Chain A
Amino acid sequence: EPEVTQTPSHQVTQMGQEVILRCVPISNHLYFYWYRQILGQKVEFLVSFYNNEISEKSEIFDDQFSVERPDGSNFTLKIRSTKLEDSAMYFCASSVDNNYGYTFGSGTRLTVV
């Protein structure tokens, strides 16, 4: 069964540092997403990406965040200057269309110290 792959599985970074979280979506999917889950809280939408541009973003997704599809396979989330409150599990997801049903990756646990 096709999978969404995320790397690394766990990243520890110092406050103020830049981090890049990487995702390889399923190859024939066209829509890509990032969600996050702060420990003990609900899964929150961050951003969706289609046709090489952001299609929707939440209020969480401020100027510190950016997404990119640098080549035909990777989909990245960059946080320019991490804050303690950015510590969370970040999930990448992809889908064939925008409401078919998403396939999630296993997540990257980001810890900002």
Chain B
Amino acid sequence: AQSVSQHNHHVILSEAASLELGCNYSYGGTVNLFWYVQYPGQHLQLLLKYFSGDPLVKGIKGFEAEFIKSKFSFNLRKPSVQWSDTAEYFCAVNRGDYKLSFGAGTTVTVRA
């Protein structure tokens, strides 16, 4: 079945450590790719998106993601995390239709 897969269910790391969250999708054709973040008790917020052009996209709060078409991947990275990055992170894919398909999410816990 076509889907969005996030490899890690829960990631625990210390402040200043580097973060990389994996996301793979199984759709063929043109896709639009998103990463959303959900801080505890808050709504989904858009971190960054890729539609076309430079496959390395920069988002808010120091996050970036790289689209690798041959690997059907859109991994999220941050060189140095802070305690305030503790949240749940969702990868999502749009195929030019009317909906987003979400991955299961990765919970990131940053220890001070």
By a beta-carbon cutoff of 8 Å, the part of chain A in contact with chain B is 31, 33, 35, 41-45, 48, 50, 55-56, 58, 91, 98-99, 101-107
Establish whether residues B97 and A56, one from each chain, have CB atoms under 8 Å apart when the complex forms. Answer: yes
Interface size of B in residues (CB-CB distance below 8 Å): 23
State in angstroms the CA–CA spacing of A31 and B97 once bound together: 12
- Cβ A56 vs Cβ B98 within 8 A: yes
Is B2 in the interface zone, CB < 8 Å from A?
no
The minimal Cβ–Cβ distance linking B2 to chain A, given in whole angstroms, is 13
A58 & B43 in contact (Cβ 8 Å cutoff):
no
Q: Tell me, in angstroms, the Cα distance from A12 to B70 when the chains sit together.
A: 47
Contact in complex: B42, A106 (CB < 8 Å): yes
Q: Across the two chains, which residue of chain B brings its CB closest to A6? A: B43
Q: When the two chains form their complex, are residues A56 and B99 in contact, meaning their CB atoms are under 8 A apart?
A: yes
B residues with a Cβ closer than 8 A to A are: 32, 34, 36, 42-46, 49, 51, 90, 92, 94, 96-105
- Please give, as numbers and ranges, the residues of chain B lying within 8 Å of A99 by CB-CB distance: 32, 51, 94, 96
With a CB–CB cut-off of 8 A, which chain B residues contact A50? 98
Q: Assess whether B90 is in contact with A43, with CB atoms less than 8 Å apart.
A: yes
Q: Closest 7 A-B residue pairs measured CB to CB?
A: A48-B98, A106-B43, A56-B98, A45-B99, A104-B44, A43-B102, A42-B104
Give Cα distance in the complex from A41 to B97, angstroms: 23
What is the CB-to-nearest-CB distance from B14 to chain A, in angstroms, rounded to a whole number? 26
Q: Are A98 and B102 in contact (CB under 8 A)?
A: no
A105–B45 CA distance with the chains assembled, in angstroms: 9
Question: A44 touching B98 by the CB < 8 A rule?
Answer: no
Given that A99-B94, A101-B34 are contacting pairs, would A45 and B46 also be in contact in the complex, using a CB cutoff of 8 Å?
no
- Residue of A with least CB distance to B46: A101
